[in-house]
């Protein structure tokens, strides 16, 4: 699934993420990745928010 589609799907559900190389292009190339999607979690995120992230990821449309 293209990272742009993942980021758009999460955004449509109110979940903010970053998609791209994240200043780690050599590492991503090493692992054969085109890019990654990164949520910014912190101590103030709730278990419910993390559960929602996981549920929305499980609901991604498959190609």
DSSP character string of 1-15: --HHHHHHHHHHTT-
**Entry pTM:** 0.83
8 in a structural domain: yes
53 in a structural domain: yes
13 in a structural domain: yes
Task: Say whether 23 is catalytic.
Answer: yes
Q: Give the CATH number, domain containing residue 19.
A: 3.90.1150.10
63 in a structural domain: no
Residue 51 lies in domain: 3-58
- The per-residue pLDDT for 62 is 84
Which member of 12, 14, 23, 63 is catalytic? Answer: 23
Number of domains in the chain: 1
pLDDT tens, position by position, 21-50: 999 999 999 999 999 999 999 999 999 999
33 in a structural domain: yes
């Amino acid at each position: 699934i293209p990272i742009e589609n993942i980021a758009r799907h999460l955004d449509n559900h109110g979940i903010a993420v970053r998609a791209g190389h994240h200043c780690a292009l050599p590492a991503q190339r090493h692992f054969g990745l085109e890019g990654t999607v990164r949520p910014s979690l912190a101590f103030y995120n709730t278990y419910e928010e993390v559960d929602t992230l996981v549920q929305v990821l499980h609901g991604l449309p498959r190609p």
